[in-house]
Amino acid sequence: GAVVSQHPSWVICKSGTSVKIECRSLDFQATTMFWYRQFPKQSLMLMATSNEGSKATYEQGVEKDKFLINHASLTLSTLTVTSAHPEDSSFYICSAGTGREQETQYFGPGTRLLVL
Amino acid sequence: GQNIDQPTEMTATEGAIVQINCTYQTSGFNGLFWYQQHAGEAPTFLSYNVLDGLEEKGRFSSFLSRSKGYSYLLLKELQMKDSASYLCAVMDSNYQLIWGAGTKLIIKP
């Protein structure tokens, strides 16, 4: 149980385009989903927390207009990187939990984004 | 401020035992997690401790001392596939996960 999928796993795009990444909880309802970014050889950096049906909570320094998050259902959250630039190239990972306190986060496989 | 400390890198021999330490200073405590992350992959959950003591799960064990702000992950009978980064994360009083930078474990034959 507790499987989280992400799509796509790999994306290459031109600078200035927008990229949408999907995160799905396959066998449980995820009240809360988290989006992380990880640069090579660095730790996970939390970008935002999204709760189903409400606006995402962004971490300090993360531009909410650039990284649009939608958590429309209990099994799907999307992250859209708008007007992507080469510095946005990174490994984007989502995780999901049921929203209960002290809940384990289960991670998706990640999406590697390369902006040319 | 909130802080999680763990060694940057460790090396161990196949078949041996290794202990990865994690110390933390957070605003509140609602549990400590250990995750394994292979290069280029997302983290996978290993263990969760919220009470003091040792939790054993197969070859992996995790220990917690809340009074000392200290945890360790113990890996026994090391295998080459255990080469990975091991991430320590603490859930604070707001139920937010605070992540350590990870410990890269290198296993040598």
The string of pLDDT tens digits covering residues A58-115 is 999 999 999 999 988 889 999 999 999 999 999 999 999 865 555 788 899 999 999 9
Taking only the tens place, the pLDDT of each residue in B71-97 is 999 999 999 999 999 999 998 888 788
* pLDDT value, residue B97: 85
pLDDT at A1: 62
Question: What six digits make up the tokens of A30?
Answer: 């995820």
- Dihedrals phi, psi of B59, to nearest 5 degrees: -80, -15
Q: Could you read off the pLDDT of B38-47 as tens digits, one per residue?
A: 988 899 989 9
Task: Using the predicted structure, report yes or no on whether residue A12 has a pLDDT greater than 80.
Answer: yes
* Gap between the terminal Cα atoms of chain A: 37
How far, in Å, are A93, B14, B57 from residue B84 at the CA level?
17, 13, 18
| Token couple for A17 | 């385009």
Name the DSSP class of B82: G
Chain A contacts in chain B segment 14-73 (CB below 8 A)? 30-31, 33, 35, 40-45, 48, 50
Give me the percent of chain B exceeding a pLDDT of 70. Answer: 100
Q: Is A57 on the interface with B (CB under 8 A)?
A: no
pLDDT, residue B81, reads 96
Residue numbers in A near B102 (CB within 8 A): 43
Does residue B100 have a pLDDT over 60? yes
User: Is residue B3 less than 8 Å (CB to CB) from chain A?
Assistant: no
Residues 6+ apart with CB under 8 A from B69: B23, B24, B25
Residues of B in contact with A107 (CB under 8 A): 35, 42-45
Q: How much of chain A, in percent, has pLDDT values that exceed 90?
A: 66
For residue A107, give the nearest of B43, B96, B102 by CB distance.
B43
**Which site among A21, A104, A113 would you substitute to test the B interface, given the most B Cβ atoms closer than 10 Å to its Cβ?**
A104
Label residues A64-98 b or e (16+ Cβ within 10 Å = b). Answer: eeebbbebeebbebbbebeebeeebbbbbbbbbbe
Model pLDDT, residue A103: 72
